């Protein structure tokens, strides 16, 4: 249950106080981990509110209430992964239903839609969801929802959530927003008209690359009740210990997001002037096509950016020479990570579709951590320099016929 006093606090305070006032017996300021799978009933026909761990757990309930409060929704649901959260949301749909989905999409979401939901008769059309004419052109009588990533991963495309949600409502559709990259600290889609929010909480919410989790937040009594039914029925719920770990990470979300944004903006500006870089994708840059919309609907920017190199031959030596930055999948942790989407996060998307969108063999995705920004830039600089030197040497040897 959301505490009314908490609703009046600013988000920094709401985050820091997650679980600090919900344990009335001992007054513990850190909510305990309740590992119990079963709970005693006072007498026949009575319940403490907790019956079985899959349906409800005290530790998970505190996390779920916090998620609903932060996203300005009515109910929260903690899942065992971001993909489990998506599976639970997509269970709203069945045989013959059609979805409209962001064109630039995380590969795991595309895989679930095309290889799993298609088995149950659910189809999807992929368009630039900021283009109302484009989404109208693919709308069908069976279209039930529009699914938006904004910013998208990895090309940082921005969708006007308010405009799309208004369009969806006019056609009796749900608006589902993946808010993983901005978190409720910087963007709250429900306030802009969205019905459902999903998170890979493994990323910025957890923030330390040490917990696998997903979150769903719903708006509206009927939708929240249906999601509670699906959450319990599918059973892909978050464990008590992982719920505790996620809450602990979320307490510092405000501080971390501010540093992620500062560092990523500095890095994006530096990359934007580098001779080896063709394009930088980051919504805080004024030349980004979604810059104005991003400023209108969000109070800040994510810590992830992507950049396209002039030459694909730079990719391998850059990934080999980075030192402070790790060549690793995932994003949103305190450590800086660099990923090659074409062969990692987006490998399940067919090559022709990836390349048409722009996820080609010259694109690198960079999750900028909270290290000192000068150290991050210095590491990028030396890796780019090393790559340039290697390619120059290879070109000379090639010209000499060696």
Is residue 340 part of the annotated active site? The answer reads no
Q: Tokens 């932060």 — which residue?
A: 70
Within 13 A of 201's CA, how many CA atoms are on the CB side?
Answer: 33
Task: Please give the distance of CA 186 from its chain centroid, rounded to a whole number.
Answer: 12
Q: What are phi and psi of 237, to 5 degrees?
A: -95, 160
Catalytic residue, candidates 9, 39, 54, 295: 54
Q: How many helices (H) and strands (E) does the chain have?
A: 15, 12
Q: Which of 203, 248, 256, 365 is catalytic?
A: 203
Task: Tell me whether residue 374 is one of the annotated catalytic residues.
Answer: no
Q: Using an 8 Å Cβ cutoff, are 177 and 152 in contact?
A: no
312 contacts 296 by C-beta, under 8 angstroms: no
106 labelled catalytic = yes
Catalytic residue among 34, 106, 204, 244: 106
State the maximum Cα–Cα separation within the chain, in Å, rounded to a whole number.
Answer: 89
CB 151 within 8 A of CB 105: no
Neighbours of 378 (CB within 10 A): 13
User: What are the DSSP calls for 209-251, one per residue?
Assistant: S----EEEEE-SHHHHHHHHHHHHHH--BPPHHHHHHHHHHHT
Question: Is the CB of residue 154 less than 8 Å from the CB of residue 306?
Answer: yes
Compute CA distances 39 → 35, 237, 368, whole Å: 11, 17, 44
Does residue 203 have an active-site annotation? Answer: yes
Burial class (CB in 10 A: 0-12, 13-18, 19+), 374: exposed
CB of 177 closer than 8 Å to CB of 196: yes
Cα–Cα dist 186/190, whole Å: 13
> How far apart are the C-alpha atoms of 197 and 178, rounded to whole Å?
6
The active-site residue, picked from 104, 178, 242, 379, is 178
Q: What is the dihedral of CA 199, 201, 202, 207, to 10 degrees?
A: 120
Taking the C-alpha atoms of residue 182 and residue 75, their distance in angstroms, rounded to an integer, is: 20
Catalytic annotation, residues: 54, 106, 178, 203
């Amino acid at each position: 249950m959301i505490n009314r006093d908490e609703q009046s606090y600013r988000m920094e305070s709401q985050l820091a106080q997650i679980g600090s006032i919900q344990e009335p017996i001992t007054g513990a300021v850190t909510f305990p981990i309740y590992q119990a799978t079963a709970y005693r009933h006072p007498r026949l026909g009575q319940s403490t509110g907790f019956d079985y761990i899959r349906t409800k757990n005290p530790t998970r309930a505190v996390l779920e209430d916090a998620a609903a409060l932060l996203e300005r929704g009515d109910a929260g649901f903690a899942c065992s992964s971001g993909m489990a959260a998506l599976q639970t949301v997509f269970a709203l749909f069945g045989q013959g239903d059609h979805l409209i989905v962001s064109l630039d999409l995380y590969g795991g979401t595309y895989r679930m839609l095309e290889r799993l939901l298609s088995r149950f008769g659910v189809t999807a059309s992929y368009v630039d969801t900021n283009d109302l004419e484009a989404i109208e052109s693919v709308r069908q009588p069976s279209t039930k929802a529009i699914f938006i990533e904004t910013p998208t991963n990895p090309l940082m495309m921005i969708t006007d959530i308010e405009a799309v949600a208004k369009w969806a409502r006019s056609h009796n559709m749900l608006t589902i927003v993946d808010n993983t990259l901005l978190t409720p600290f910087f963007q709250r889609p429900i306030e802009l008209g969205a019905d459902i929010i999903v998170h890979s909480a493994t990323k910025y919410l957890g923030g330390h690359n040490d917990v696998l989790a997903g979150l769903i937040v719903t708006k509206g009594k009927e939708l929240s009740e249906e999601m509670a039914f699906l959450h319990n029925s599918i059973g892909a719920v978050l464990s008590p210990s992982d719920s505790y770990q996620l809450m602990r990470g979320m307490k510092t979300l405000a501080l971390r997001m501010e540093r992620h944004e500062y560092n990523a903006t500095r890095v994006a500006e530096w990359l934007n002037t580098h001779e080896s870089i063709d394009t930088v994708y980051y919504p805080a840059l004024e030349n980004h096509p979604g810059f104005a919309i991003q400023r209108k609907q969000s109070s800040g920017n994510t810590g992830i950016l992507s950049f396209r190199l002039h030459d694909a031959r730079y990719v391998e030596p850059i990934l080999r020479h980075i030192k402070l930055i790790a060549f690793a999948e995932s994003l949103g942790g305190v450590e800086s990570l660099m990923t090659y989407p074409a062969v990692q996060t987006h490998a399940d998307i067919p090559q022709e579709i990836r390349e048409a969108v722009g996820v080609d063999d010259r694109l690198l995705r960079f999750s900028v951590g909270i290290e000192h920004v000068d150290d991050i830039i210095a590491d990028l600089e030396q890796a780019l320099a090393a790559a340039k030197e290697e390619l120059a040497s290879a070109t000379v040897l090639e010209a000499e016929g060696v």
